[in-house]
Structure 1
């Protein structure tokens, strides 16, 4: 090898070592930065030119990254559902000491009626029974408000989620364009690739997403149901909020490029992600629980209805518990949407409204004497109270779409409703725990591939320093040889 070739080779080695050293320093600086992937200086050789840095690549695994995206989206969906169910369960069925659940209130009402039946001439017990009935109605009213509040909150969170998605897609567009341009001009785009992966990771929290790579580093994004989120340009995600929710309110669908991805009319519904979880909570779980509350209210009105005692075959009418549709009775075994929010105790029996609590014992709460059970006005009359107690335990049919006990007493149905919401909450919690564990493991596996190990970087730095020192030594030696050669020629 000529001295010139040796000098060129050593010079190339120094330049490569400099780039390697810079890359290692870059890794060390980015080690604690979220989303940073380890960078690698790829070396190659050219004949008679020595070593050179052919490219800067980053450590990455498409398969592991996909696993992280999938686990992130699944966890976000279940977390959204669990958080909503937790609020409902905490307010309507938790804390037995407070006896706030419909089942607890029904049990208290039954006990109050029994005490009144044992001493029908006791005005205090009559008032206590009516007060217990009012607590029952209030519990159903408040439970309805809680459920609709959770639906309103989910709808508002969907607005935020959609805004986040659109913002992330805009960011993705800019970074993806920079990657394509940099790839075409052979620039180092590894930092842009990190940024793009970070954007997709954030996007996966909002919606289930997959990324498809194409020529020149270009990428396309799709939802987990196959709807295009980004292909050359970002698709518009739109949603119109519903600010006030009542039991009969149907929330609006989310659209991606005009295609509905949530709601009953969606042919390609989102499967995972926070947005899917919020839609599931708003449109399904809460609606089902509201239906159960409405069936408890209907069951109460039916159990306490008054039947014609005159023989005139008059229709049954609401008694202790009434609603805006009175004097008609709610249809049997049919959900009356929103009934739990409007059920109340008849004013005619409520002392606070100037009513007579003894009508609970005697009947004719509706104001029609044909429904009077105590025709003799006997203060010791208890047959009607015993009948009401028995009716609370008597089986009746319930709407099967409410997903509670299809046939049983109103107390049994209320108990099945409490069990349903608890099972839904537990299932969501179990799924969150599982998905979080899966996410942790997937993230750790990806980190093992693309993360920065400080020990490895320092070891590599020592190797580069040795190579740099050896190349410098070669240059120094060649320089001395050239100086000696020049001196010999000069002499």
Structure 2
């Protein structure tokens, strides 16, 4: 080996070790950065030895796609479960002590006690108080359900704004990647930035990718709607200022196409937007309709009827203990939107201005409806009739998803069962999707993340190469000095 060749080899080693140590040092500095993909210096052998020709990112596209998809699924499931937990909390938590089913049971127990002691005015007052607790619970739950819908609507607006902002940033990062790839530059930092943004986008809406020339990336929703192609597509949403039981929220449109809500407790939603739509437009409205039907059942159960139907003219059936703003008997088998928020205990029986004994005797709607004409203190026929009414089967709307011909207490219990079934299934699905997301993330991280042990071991190898180059330079220097001395 000539001295010039030896010098060239040493210089090549110094250049290589410098580049390699720089890459290793940057990897170590970003070891805790979840959005950083490990780099490695690629060597090739040329006429003067090995040369660093590129800095490459570790990458596994299959694992990355799996990470993106599992992230979308988990984000959607998490939002849905949070909403179901909030609905459950309105019913009093694990024991559902504020549920209509529980409070109806309390009212029935009080009625039975009163029927056994019909002359006890204090028990009558207690019955009115228990009925008011039930009506207030329905009012509060109905109002809170609409607040949940309102918050979901506000979250949708915020998520849409965030998504539009992420897509604008994605355009900048994507353009950087295309430019660097086109000129043979280093696109690694831009790729990290683009992948980080894609992870964030996937948590808002499900996304698939298509790679094109110069590593350009086009984005589509999982339904096939264009989300980004060269430029971002508009994501639009008009929020609703206030929600009532009959209010229908506005849709989310991506490139003019409506985004579909998720379906089922193990939701099909990918990303938070579809789950928020499902919560706002499906889960909460259905549960609201169940409460509305419970309210209708209470009005029907305690309605006052004609005491003497054989004696014309027949008197209309009117609300008794429970009434509402229209003061009529709601139609069978049809949900009256917001009835749970409009049901009230009739003021005619509320002390001090009202008389609870009207429940026992009849006459809430006037003297024509009095049944206990003699005002007998032992009269309990009406109280027993109201108690039996809890077991009379009536037609509940099928749209409640627990409808059919049921008695009121069974319907109220089935409503809680429906909610608990959804929450339980959603809880299990959340755990499963979290496990899937964690496994995908761990697998991707093990392929693309930085291992400090590996980087430190590589630095030791680089150090040995540097020492060899330094030794070679020292030897060349010694030989040059000897040559100069010999030349005189």
Matched, 1:52 2:55: no
Listed as ranges, the matches of 1:325-336 within 5 Å are: 325-326=326-327, 328-336=328-336
Q: What is the aligned partner in structure 1 of residue 25 from structure 2?
A: 25
Judge conservation of contact 2:73–2:268 (CA < 8 Å) in 1.
no
| CA deviation profile, 1:433-486 (whole Å, cap 9, x unmatched) | 111111111111111101111111111111112122222333333344445445
Judge conservation of contact 2:104–2:409 (CA < 8 Å) in 1.
yes
What's the offset of the Cα at 1:371? Answer: 2.5
| CA deviation profile, 1:170-195 (whole Å, cap 9, x unmatched) | 11111111111111222222122111
Distance 1:427 1:349, change over 3 A: same
Name the SS for the 2:390 alignment partner: helix
C-alpha separation in 1, matches of 2:468 and 2:185: 29
Listed as ranges, the matches of 1:109-120 within 5 Å are: 109-120=107-118
Q: What is the aligned partner in structure 2 of residue 209 from structure 1?
A: 207
Q: What is the aligned partner in structure 2 of residue 293 from structure 1?
A: 291
Matched, 1:428 2:426: yes
| CA deviation profile, 1:384-428 (whole Å, cap 9, x unmatched) | 111111011222121111012522211110000011111111111
Judge conservation of contact 1:239–1:253 (CA < 8 Å) in 2.
yes
Q: What is the aligned partner in structure 2 of residue 67 from structure 1?
A: 66
C-alpha separation in 1, matches of 2:392 and 2:436: 48
What's the offset of the Cα at 1:74? Answer: 0.9
What's the offset of the Cα at 1:33? Answer: 1.6
Name the SS for the 1:148 alignment partner: helix
Judge conservation of contact 2:205–2:274 (CA < 8 Å) in 1.
yes
Q: What is the aligned partner in structure 2 of residue 359 from structure 1?
A: 358
Listed as ranges, the matches of 1:44-443 within 5 Å are: 44-46=44-46, 48-96=47-95, 99-262=97-260, 271-311=269-309, 312=312, 313-326=314-327, 328-352=328-352, 354-367=353-366, 369-443=367-441
Judge conservation of contact 1:225–1:271 (CA < 8 Å) in 2.
no
C-alpha separation in 2, matches of 1:420 and 1:212: 41
What's the offset of the Cα at 1:236? Answer: 1.7
Name the SS for the 2:74 alignment partner: helix
Could you tell me which runs of 5 or more consecutive residues in structure 2 were left unpaired when the two chains were aligned: none
Q: What is the aligned partner in structure 1 of residue 13 from structure 2?
A: 13
Name the SS for the 1:336 alignment partner: coil
Could you tell me which runs of 5 or more consecutive residues in structure 1 were left unpaired when the two chains were aligned: none
What's the offset of the Cα at 1:106? Answer: 0.4
TM-score (norm 2): 0.94
| CA deviation profile, 1:82-135 (whole Å, cap 9, x unmatched) | 111111111215254x83111111011111111221222221111111111111
Name the SS for the 1:393 alignment partner: coil
Q: Which shifted more, 292-301 or 403-412?
A: 403-412
What's the offset of the Cα at 1:317? Answer: 1.5
| CA deviation profile, 1:319-369 (whole Å, cap 9, x unmatched) | 11111122x3111111111100100111112224x12211101212122x3
What's the offset of the Cα at 1:3? Answer: 3.4
C-alpha separation in 1, matches of 2:243 and 2:81: 20
Name the SS for the 1:307 alignment partner: coil
Name the SS for the 1:351 alignment partner: coil
Count residues in correspondence: 481
Judge conservation of contact 1:152–1:244 (CA < 8 Å) in 2.
yes
What's the offset of the Cα at 1:315? Answer: 2.9
| CA deviation profile, 1:50-103 (whole Å, cap 9, x unmatched) | 22111111111111111111111111111111111111111215254x831111
Name the SS for the 1:241 alignment partner: coil
C-alpha separation in 2, matches of 1:206 and 1:12: 49
C-alpha separation in 2, matches of 1:478 and 1:210: 58
What's the offset of the Cα at 1:9? Answer: 2.9
- Name the Cα RMSD after superposition: 1.9
Judge conservation of contact 1:224–1:270 (CA < 8 Å) in 2.
no
Q: What is the aligned partner in structure 2 of residue 39 from structure 1?
A: 39
| CA deviation profile, 1:159-180 (whole Å, cap 9, x unmatched) | 1111111111111111111111
Name the SS for the 1:334 alignment partner: coil
What's the offset of the Cα at 1:258? Answer: 1.8
Matched, 1:446 2:447: no
Judge conservation of contact 1:155–1:282 (CA < 8 Å) in 2.
yes
